[in-house]
Amino acid sequence: MAKSKIQMINYELKITNYEMNMKKILYGLCLLIAAVFTACEDENLPKASLDMYEASSFEAIPGDEEVTLRWEAMANANPTGYYLSWTASNSTIPGGEMNSEGNITSVTVKELVNGETYTFSIQPVYGDKGRGGVMEIKAKPVSSRPAPVNLAAIPGDKTVRLVWTKPANEAFTGYELNVSPGDNKMSINKDDEEYEVTGLTNDVAYTFTLTAIYPNGHSTEAIVAATPSEAPINYLWSSVQLKSDGFSGYVKTSNPVFSPDGKTMYIPTSSPNGHLFAIDVVTGIIKWVFEISELTYGGGALVGPDGTIYQGSDNAIYAVNPNGTQKWKLATSGAGALMRVRAFPAMYDGTLYCLSNSILYAINAESGTERWTKPLPNGAGIGSALLVGRDGIIYAGTDKGLFAFTPDGDTQWSNTGALLNVTESGSMAIDGNTIYAALKGTAGIAAVNISDGTLKWSAGAAGDAYFPIVDKNGVVYFVEKNASGNVYAINPDGTQKWIKNIGGSLNYGGLALDENGIIYGGTQSKVGDNYKIYAINTVTGEFVFNNDSEQQLMAAFTIGPDKRLYFGTIGTVQTDGGSIQAYEINAGLETASWSIRGGDLQGTNRQK
């Protein structure tokens, strides 16, 4: 039944009132929910509202006494500025705060303390609405002006010698040294890593403060104290592990050699790489390491009169400046084993001679250019030993004989007798008109006339022979590889003077002779429970001492200009690298004869 017009109007009014009432209820509920939500928001984030974003990509870049902060604004955020603050982890160091404009996204906080950890926070500012969310980050400013390291002081009579290692940053321009008492300031050249302070008063304690100078200021201080005295130098070490800046290795065959002034010692490692180490003699500080990635099983080192160090390897010959930088490099010819330079080099009158397994090289020592080369004669496949006579004649020992060449490379004589299979890396010695060559197998030692290459005599051994040396009476001494190990003393006429059994293999264990007639060496194998370092009286052939060593010895010995005995080792564990060790013997090297591998403390293999 149809409704009347009045009924329809009343019905529509009721619907309208109902809708209005419902809208009021819903609106009230919305207000209530918003109030509750706002209350929660205010409780947890009193300084930030929902529509005010925090910063984005906040990062800190440490600098020298400063930290640079960088950030970005979040998408759709329009801050009017930023509020930044910072605190140090050390409460005694003040923090700070600052404000920046909204279009700024990077600031540098200065006057911070190097090495201190700071916490930095950032909040965007949205005008009168307040600040957005907080972001934090930590950073530690670091100096771009590193100090010299390893500063050590060696006191002398009214002097103190300072040695150090240069800073890692090459931007420094020099050093400043302060000496107290006396308030003396001294400027030192950038390239120096040692300095002798003179004119001091004995028995007064001095403090030495060394800083590196940079364009933007001085480094932190390196400080050491020392008291000059008339007393002898007190050495600061007896063993130095050959491990520095990721470089390490152990020593085979090579003995330490010295700079012309005797203050720096050089030793190449053998394997796994042939790195060349430079060590301060008094302090034991490793001054530098020259990287050689290939083996240097023998092949050097040799120090020239200008201090340049020459080193052969399995595929190249290197010249290294006294500061450890490369002077030149000459790649050797051939392939594989033919490239190897395992004979110790020789030097005469500005020419460096090197013997690979295929070629004899005559090299301009200054430039590294080849003056001439000569293939090894008689089909030789191993270049074993090399030396130069007083007249400049070059003598080369190989697995196929002994050969003499003029300074121009012409053959003067050859002896290809089957006996003359010269021991690889075994070296030779020269005394008067005789060459002594160490031989393989049981052939022992051969005495060869330097004038025509004829064999004078030979004396057998029980295994490969190594490193002959000669005393001032012409007696020749050598060692052998045999498991029980003998040291031999042979008179100038080839007759036996004495044999001393050491009890362990003397593989590569070259001897050194002191001015008192004592020879020194070490064992490659254990004698009982230990390796041995021994000294023998050359008159009687009896032990002066026979001391235990924890480390394996497989190289020649050296007596330094400071009357100490030096030798390299394999080490306790080969992966840790070997070491250089020193013994106090209070005796100098015998200088009237060929008393050491290489003939002298520079290893020149040259007859004087």
pLDDT > 90? residue 272: no
Distance of CA 605 to the CA centre of its chain: 26
For the stretch 445-458, pLDDT in tens is 999 999 999 999 99
For 401, the token pair is 């004989």
For the stretch 100-134, pLDDT in tens is 998 999 999 999 998 899 999 999 999 888 999 99
Helices (H) and strands (E) in the chain, counts: 1, 49
Q: What CATH superfamily is the domain 55-139? A: Immunoglobulins (2.60.40.10)
- What is the predicted pLDDT for the residue at 187? 95
239-584 and 149-226 share a CATH fold = no
- What is the predicted pLDDT for the residue at 64? 85
User: In whole angstroms, what is the distance from residue 462 CA to residue 444 CA?
Assistant: 8
**What are the residue ranges spanned by the domains of the chain?**
1-44, 55-139, 149-226, 239-584
Mean pLDDT calculated for residue range 218-240? 84
User: In whole angstroms, what is the distance from residue 509 CA to residue 521 CA?
Assistant: 6
Number of neighbouring beta carbons within 10 Å of residue 254 = 31
- What is the predicted pLDDT for the residue at 75? 84
For the stretch 106-115, pLDDT in tens is 999 999 998 8
pLDDT > 80? residue 146: yes
- What is the predicted pLDDT for the residue at 298? 74
* C-alpha torsion angle, residues 305, 308, 311, 317 (rounded to 10): -110
Higher-pLDDT residue of 128, 348: 348
> Considering the domain 239-584 in this protein, what is its CATH number?
2.130.10.10
- What is the predicted pLDDT for the residue at 232? 64
pLDDT > 60? residue 24: no
pLDDT band at 575 (very low <50, low <70, confident <90, very high): low
- What is the predicted pLDDT for the residue at 573? 61
CB 248 within 8 A of CB 242: yes
CB 503 within 8 A of CB 527: yes
Higher-pLDDT residue of 385, 24: 385
pLDDT band at 479 (very low <50, low <70, confident <90, very high): very high
pLDDT band at 233 (very low <50, low <70, confident <90, very high): low
pLDDT band at 220 (very low <50, low <70, confident <90, very high): confident
Q: How many CA atoms are closer than 13 Å to the CA of 218, on its beta-carbon side?
A: 11
Question: Three-class SS string for 163-185?
Answer: EEECCCCCCCCEEEEEEECCCEE
pLDDT band at 10 (very low <50, low <70, confident <90, very high): very low
Burial class (CB in 10 A: 0-12, 13-18, 19+), 21: exposed
pLDDT > 80? residue 5: no
CB 416 within 8 A of CB 432: no
pLDDT > 80? residue 45: no
- What is the predicted pLDDT for the residue at 235? 73
CB 577 within 8 A of CB 557: no
pLDDT > 90? residue 469: yes
pLDDT band at 149 (very low <50, low <70, confident <90, very high): confident
Q: What is the mean pLDDT of the chain?
A: 88
For 493, the token pair is 């006429």
CB 220 within 8 A of CB 211: yes
The least confident of 47-61, 138-152, 248-262, 490-504 is 47-61
- What is the predicted pLDDT for the residue at 344? 95
Mean pLDDT calculated for residue range 514-519? 96
pLDDT > 90? residue 299: no
- What is the predicted pLDDT for the residue at 466? 95
Mean pLDDT calculated for residue range 426-431? 91
pLDDT band at 47 (very low <50, low <70, confident <90, very high): very low
pLDDT band at 50 (very low <50, low <70, confident <90, very high): very low
The least confident of 31-35, 432-436, 591-595 is 31-35
- What is the predicted pLDDT for the residue at 278? 96
CB 368 within 8 A of CB 377: no
User: In whole angstroms, what is the distance from residue 355 CA to residue 180 CA?
Assistant: 53
Q: How many CA atoms are closer than 13 Å to the CA of 240, on its beta-carbon side?
A: 25
Mean pLDDT calculated for residue range 48-65? 80
149-226 carries CATH number 2.60.40.10: yes
Nearest partner of 298 among 374, 358, 382, judged by Cα: 382
pLDDT > 60? residue 16: no
pLDDT band at 2 (very low <50, low <70, confident <90, very high): very low
pLDDT band at 414 (very low <50, low <70, confident <90, very high): very high
Whole-model pTM: value is 0.70
- What is the predicted pLDDT for the residue at 295? 80
pLDDT > 60? residue 6: no
Amino acid letter, 333: S
